[in-house]
Chain A
Amino acid sequence: MSEQTSQHETEWPLWEVFIRARGGLDHRHCGSLRAPDSEMALMNARDAYTRRGEGHSIWVVKATNIVASNPDDKGSFYDPADDKVYRHPSFYQLPDEVDHM
């Protein structure tokens, strides 16, 4: 393990790259890269992921700063929402006379 860790430590940190394709849209995850710091990560992201005008706004986030849910919890983590059908518009029956709402 220690050998593995020290070898990984010499590698530059991993950055996740998010790009906004045009104004009005969300930033979307498009890939990742390695860079020694945030500014170089941003420049590398521009060179690697926007060679053809794919976007005009880039976020880079250090991968270690991302907190992710655990895929094994797939069921239990989301089940509070499972029995709340009344959150969906289809739960509400409308009279025929009122067809657009």
Chain B
Amino acid sequence: MTSATEEARFQAHIDAEGKIEPKDWMPEAYRKSLVRQISQHAHSEYVGMLPESNWLRRAPTLRRKAALMAKIQDEAGHGLYLYSAAETLGTSRDEMYRDLLSGKAKYSSIFNYPTLTWADIGAVGWLVDGAAITNQVPLCRCSYGPYARAMVRVCKEESFHQRQGFQIMLGMAHGSPQQKAMAQDALNRWWWPSIAMFGPPDGESKHSAQSMAWKIKRHSNDELRQRFIDMTIPQADFLGLRIPDDDLKFNEETGHYDIGPIDWDDFWAVVNGEGQCNTDRLAARQKAHDEGAWVREAATAYAAKRAARKAAERIAAE
């Protein structure tokens, strides 16, 4: 079969809502695009643990600390599910780590912003996890089986994250005037980066059209962004906090909220390495990788010793 007919058959299968599994034929570009997206997603989970762990030892109560710890553990688990899904496409985990640490692979830019106060932990859970969920729910139906299945598990676990964040915001917004001011300050700083998380506007998104045709993506960036905005504004109203956007208003005609212009220059600057924490995040990951080397070596040595002992016992028994 020529590759053109293979490709036509592949596209027809996807158009009919068929799923693609690791051993199925797929165009090289589909494979490459998935490796890029899934590994980037995995790296985001992995780097995403850092801004949260910044407040782990300073959590205000033991219960909040335990909940935050559980959330950070989840992020590590989500990274694992996603690295596994990417591996089914023939890329090795070592290769993916290497690309992350060398700066070749990207992760979500949102994690290059600092978490300055405890209220930021609330804002991150409420807004960043909220935006991530909005993005991830449609990915549960993406055409690549292993990615879709990983997303089902991630989404199930993620909904606690957003509630955990909202509960922190709720406590602070209804707390002392200082606490309320901290909550407002966190919202002021996290609102626009969260909105930008959905990526560039539809007209400028370079992978979008092909990803939609392949059903890796189900909705456009702007569609998902609007869905998140419409969902979140009433929540901010409930908290009694103000969205930092003078142009924000409800559009009676469309039934959606209209927002002011997004500062894409800032977004691209952070993507391209000029965010406040880009250097710190990679340095922290590099440090963890280096300092974890002895653990990996010890586990390998222990496994070898145990295998040798078992082999010796078997010989002795014979």
Interface residues of A, Cβ cutoff 8 Å to B: 7-8, 10-12, 14, 30-37, 39-40, 48, 51-52, 68, 70-72
Q: Which residues of chain B are near A71, meaning CB under 8 Å? A: 21, 23-25
Instruction: Tell yes or no: B174 within 8 A of A by CB.
Output: no
User: Are A51 and B306 in contact, with the CB atoms below 8 A?
Assistant: no
Contact A11 B84 (CB under 8 A): no
Q: How far is the CA of A34 from the CA of B96 in the complex (A)?
A: 14
Interface contact A48-B77, CB-CB below 8 Å: yes
The 8 Å CB contact of B80, one of A33, A39, A40, A68, is A33
Write the nearest CB–CB distance from A29 to chain B, whole angstroms: 9
Q: Which chain B residues border A7 with CB–CB below 8 Å?
A: 92, 94-95
**Bound state CA distance, A33 and B153, in angstroms?**
15
Q: Are A8 and B92 in contact (CB-based, < 8 A)?
A: yes
Whether A11 lies near B299 (C-beta < 8 A) is no
Determine the chain B residues whose CB is within 8 A of the CB of A12 once the complex forms: 299-300
Q: Which residue of the partner chain A has the closest CB to B302?
A: A36
- Interface residue from A37, A48, A68 paired with B307 (Cβ < 8 Å): A37
The one of A8, A10, A40, A51 that contacts B73, using a Cβ cutoff of 8 Å: A51
Any A CB within 8 A of the CB of B195: no
How does the 8 Å CB contact mask read for B287-308 relative to A, with 1 for contact and 0 for none?
0000000000001101110110
A12 CB → nearest B CB, Å: 7
Query: B94 and A51: CB pair below 8 A?
Result: no
Least Cβ–Cβ distance between A14 and chain B, in angstroms: 7
Are the C-beta atoms of A14 and B87 separated by less than 8 Å? yes
Partner of A31 from the list B153, B302, B303 (CB cut-off 8 Å) is B153
Contact between B92 and A40, CB atoms less than 8 A apart: no
Alpha-carbon gap, A100 to B307, bound state (A): 58
Q: B23 contacts which of A34, A37, A70 (Cβ < 8 Å)?
A: A70
B299 touches A36 (CB 8 A): yes
Asked if B94 and A11 sit within 8 Å, CB to CB, the answer is yes
Which residues B76-91 have CB closer than 8 A to chain A? 77, 80-81, 84, 87
Residues of B within 8 A of A40 (CB): 299, 303
Chain A residues within an 8 Å CB radius of B74: 51
- Chain B residues with CB under 8 Å of A35's CB are 299
Q: Which residues of B contact A52 (CB under 8 A)?
A: 157
Note all chain B residues with C-beta closer than 8 A to A72: 25
Q: Is the CB of B306 within 8 A of A37?
A: yes
- Given A51-B77, A71-B24, 18 other A-B residues pairs in contact with their CB atoms under 8 A: A7-B95, A8-B92, A11-B92, A12-B299, A14-B87, A30-B153, A31-B84, A31-B150, A32-B84, A32-B87, A36-B303, A37-B302, A37-B303, A37-B306, A48-B80, A68-B23, A71-B25, A72-B25
8 closest residue pairs by CB, A with B: A36-B303, A37-B303, A32-B84, A36-B299, A71-B23, A36-B300, A71-B24, A48-B77
Per-residue A-contact encoding for B148-164, CB less than 8 Å = 1, 0 else: 01100100010000000
> Which A residues are in CB contact (< 8 Å) with B73?
51
- In the complex, A14 Cα to B84 Cα: how many Å? 9
A51 to B84, CA, bound (A): 18
Say yes or no for B93: interface residue by CB 8 A criterion.
yes
Name the B residues within 8 Å of A30 (CB-CB).
153
Q: In the complex, which residues 124-171 of chain B have their Cβ closer than 8 Å to any Cβ of chain A? A: 149-150, 153, 157
* A4 closest partner in B (C-beta): B92
Cβ-defined contact, B303 with A11, below 8 A: no
**Which A residues touch B150, using CB under 8 A?**
31
Tell me the smallest distance from the CB of A8 to a CB of chain B, in Å: 6
Bound form: Cα–Cα A39–B306 in Å: 10
User: B101 CB to closest chain A CB, in angstroms?
Assistant: 15
Whether the Cβ atoms of B21 and A34 lie closer than 8 Å is no
Fill in one digit per residue for B245-275: 1 if any A CB lies within 8 Å of its CB, else 0. 0000000000000000000000000000000
Which of B21, B25, B74, B93 has the most A CB atoms < 10 Å from its CB?
B93
Interfacial chain A residues near B95, Cβ < 8 Å: 7
